Amino acid sequence: VKSLVRLKSLTDELRLRASTTRNIGIEELLSRNFASEDTTPKVLLIDERKSSVERIQKMLRDRADLDVTHDPHAGFFQAAETSYECVMISTAFADFDPLRLCSQLRSLDRTRFVPIILLAEEGEEERIIRGLELGINDYLMRPIDQQELTARLRTQVRRKRYNDQLRASVTQTIEMAVTDGLTGLHNRRYLDSHLQTLFDRAEARRRPLSVMITDLDRFKAINDAHGHDGGDEVLREFARRLRKNVR
């Protein structure tokens, strides 16, 4: 229950941010057709038992783009360097604690939100509980049933893609809110919110604050002679030169 509540809290926070940074409601995001329905998920399996790997490969054929590694240390770096949508970790290592790998994946920024499914043996309830407390998303008990594996994997991938979509929406909306679409420069809204901070900092540091205001002379003549597309191009080039020369 604690694990599920933690996941829901994360999603709720992202949904709140998305809905408060956009004029549209969350319904638009919910109604979108997420890629989970038509895109094969990229999944990493970390398991040192060859027979287990072959069985899971057979189960997920045509259902997942599955990478396999037998070494948990190599698996950690592989997970960090590749954009996986789920990592499945076996508990059946001869001389390695799989929960240590789960903890490492949760502590790394790049893999913090990647779903982790633990593949456990009968009698490992205590290890599963510790895994859930560390942040694994789900688990399967051996012998693994193909339909259960497919369903649980699909659920985790769908949740990850939904949360990724929310994060991207929040980031994009914030960026759109403070930048001009044509030039890419900061807009009036950014100035209004940022200028007071600059004044406060200048006052605290007892340093002068300079403001430069620029204007493009005879700009209407450019629009009249070359059309609005020509005028837009001049504005974009002017903005490019500003960015190149002004901090």
Tens of pLDDT, residue by residue over 70-95, are 999 999 999 999 999 999 999 999 89
Distance between CA atoms of residues 114 and 83, nearest Å: 9
CA distance 237 to 19: 34
Percent of the chain beyond pLDDT 90?
Answer: 62
Is the pLDDT at 25 greater than 50? The verdict is no
Share the mean pLDDT of the chain: 88
The tens digit of pLDDT for each residue in 172-196 reads 777 777 888 899 898 888 888 788 8
pLDDT higher than 50, residue 47: yes
Q: Is the per-residue pLDDT at 228 higher than 60?
A: yes
Q: Are 90 and 119 in contact (CB under 8 A)?
A: yes
Residues in the chain, how many? 247
C-alpha distance from residue 212 to each of 41, 209, 242, 246 (Å): 51, 10, 12, 11
Q: How far apart are CA 230 and CA 180, in angstroms?
A: 18
Instruction: Report yes or no: 106 and 100 within 8 Å, Cβ to Cβ.
Output: no
Selection from 40, 49, 114 nearest residue 76 by Cα: 114
Query: Is the confidence at residue 23, as pLDDT, over 60?
Result: no
Tokens standing for 221? 């003549």
Q: Decide: 235 and 183 in contact? Cβ < 8 Å.
A: yes
Angstrom distance (rounded) from CA 163 to CA 72: 27
pLDDT at 24: 42
Query: From CA 142, how far away is CA 210, in angstroms rounded?
Result: 68
Would you kindly state where each structural domain of the chain is located, as residue ranges? 2-177, 179-245
Taking 50 as the threshold, does the pLDDT of residue 26 lie above it?
no
Q: Residue 119: pLDDT band by 50, 70, 90 thresholds?
A: very high
pLDDT at residue 13, as a whole number: 76
The per-residue pLDDT for 19 is: 63
Q: How far apart are CA 82 and CA 72, in angstroms?
A: 15
Top CATH class of 2-177 equals: alpha beta
In 3D space, the residue among 148, 155, 116 whose CA is nearest the CA of residue 134 turns out to be 116
What is the rounded distance in angstroms from the CA atom of residue 168 to the CA atom of residue 191?
24
Q: How far apart are CA 105 and CA 91, in angstroms?
A: 15
Chosen CATH of 179-245 out of 1.20.1260.10, 3.40.50.1970, 3.30.70.270, 3.40.50.720: 3.30.70.270
- Average pLDDT, stretch 107-118? 94
Report pTM: 0.66
pLDDT of residue 21: 57
Say whether pLDDT at 28 is over 60. no
Tell me which of 42 and 176 has the higher pLDDT.
42
pLDDT at 114: 96
**pLDDT of 6 strictly over 50:** yes
- pLDDT-derived band of residue 18, with 50, 70 and 90 as boundaries? low
> What pLDDT band is residue 31 in, cutting at 50, 70 and 90?
low
* Backbone angles phi and psi of 124, in degrees to 5: -105, 30
Alpha-carbon distance of 168 to 225, in angstroms, equals 40
pLDDT band for 17, please (50, 70, 90 cuts): low
Give the Cα separation of 117 and 73 in Å (integer).
17
